[in-house]
Structure 1
Amino acid sequence: VVVANGRNWSTSVVGSGNDWLQVGNWRLAAGRPFDAAEERAGAAVCVLGATVRRQLFERADPLGQRVRIKGFSCQVVALLAAKGQGAMGNDQDDLVLLPLHTVQRRVTGNTRVNSLLVSLRDGSDSDAAKAGLTRLLRERRSLAAEDDDNFNLLDTRQLADTLSGTTRVMTMLLGAVAAVSLLVGGIGIMNIMLVGVTERTHEIGLRLAIGALERDVLLQFLIESMMLAALGGLAGVLLAAGACGLLAGLMQVPFLFSPAINVAAFVFAAGIGVLFGYMPARRAARLDPIEALRHD
């Protein structure tokens, strides 16, 4: 728990050096990194994540202020730039960074290191790097050849591949649901237009009798069908945007509104109206004017 400015906030405390910023692609929004003397001495200095800064200080400037972490006070020397949600939905900005020796001496009370972050150069062989790290850790932990590893190695590339595979499956499932929805909606539009042709048979016959061409009637019903589907598509886009915005606020996850995707969805919905409205429009255009005028 971090306490400052009359407020407290439960957060993660990370003990590391400035290399952690580089490996994690972190940028400083304000302030300075730890200097070498502070890292060696385990000085009482800290860097606040964006969430911690907002919860403790709101709009006030925390630089130079002191916060209390587990009974000791440390000075805020920098602020991390916001990153937002991580791949697993965690808040990456909810943390406080201190020098490693500071955490070991004043927070955990031991010299153990819970995790290591390793960044490879572009083009490096990650499998070879994992094998080398495994050998090094087994050697440092004095494990015999028959002993199992008492540590875990997590390759973020493999995690990203797994998440990408899950995303592809979800995309396919949602695409199938959308296809069924479009089919059902298209059939509904076709039925509505067929009923409309039946109820307006006399009107259609009158138009044909006074000189309207088949293509005029065909175009009229295609436009009506397209407008019906387009209005449904517009309503769907607006409802989806509202629902996503509401869920994003409730779940504290970012929501990105893509104009291109929504315009494409609107146009596709209008196209569905033309496709499923063609048969009713064609039937209306081919009515016999004489028979149509006799229709009550």
Structure 2
Amino acid sequence: MKQNNETIVTEFLLLGFSLLKDTRLYLFIVIFIIYIVTITCNIFIVIIVKTERRLHKPMYFFIGGLSFLEIWFPSVTVPRLLWSLKTRKDSISLVGCMLQFYFHFALGAIEIFLLTAMAYDRYVAICNPLRYFMIMSPKICILLIVGSWVGGFSAVVGPCLQISTLSFCGGNQIDHYYCDLAPLLKLSCSETSSIETQFFCLSLLVILGCFFLIIVSYLCIIRTTMRLPTASGRKKAFSTFASHLIVVLLFYSTSIFMFVRPSTGGLLHVNKILSVFPSIVTPLLNPIIYTLRNHEVIEAIKKTTMKMNVFRIPVVRDRVL
């Protein structure tokens, strides 16, 4: 359709990764395996936390909540990327692009809020252990989980509504594998400076605000840990928050670089590469990190697998006459 000699865009082309045919096939296989393993591991963690009574504690409640989130977060972008790699069909409708943008950033914001809640849980467990189960009651844990989801879905509504009102007439090729903010604004023929400013301020508030709270929590945790009289006590305290700290560093190291800067127009190709980590790699590493560094989770997994007879081979005994 023509209007004022400008083509109005009704669908976009996600360029993804410009690769040769054989390379696209190898990338498809690698990402497909990572995605299947990610979904399987996170579903398994959710089931373990739900069914094993020894894991009915606030810390594991949050781990289960994080694993549940990691089932959906990569599912917003990865299946569409796999479809594009396999079929070379790169088009996505304007409505589909807006939905993908909304859910990707909303689920990312939920993860930020959830990691902050988990940092608070570790702070209470180490700095105020005698009142831990009173402070982190089931009601408080549920409120923190629900609040993270409500906050994440609410935070992105404003920018998403503003982007949906833009006119796109500067081409329809998005140099990314999902509908990211910067390439979308680059294609718009409308004024986008206000959206850039709003999104930057929102990223500053959500990402750096939560990161500041996490840093304060861990400074208090480390100070309390270093005051413990015995080395074994310090080691035990450190083991209770080390996994969460690793997850926080993995997620925030890329998120801060990608979104907490005033300009969205530069380093688009670098953003595309870095976005693989929070969208694809981190959801796989999270359950692995929490599993390998947690004795109770490992024991619960062993117990569950024994119940399911996964590793048992039926033995036929000779009948004695």
TM-score (norm 1): 0.25
Q: Which has the higher helix share?
A: 2
Q: Which has the higher contact order (CA 8 A, sep 6+)?
A: 2
TM-score (norm 2): 0.23
Q: Which has the higher strand share?
A: 1
Q: Which has the greater radius of gyration?
A: 1
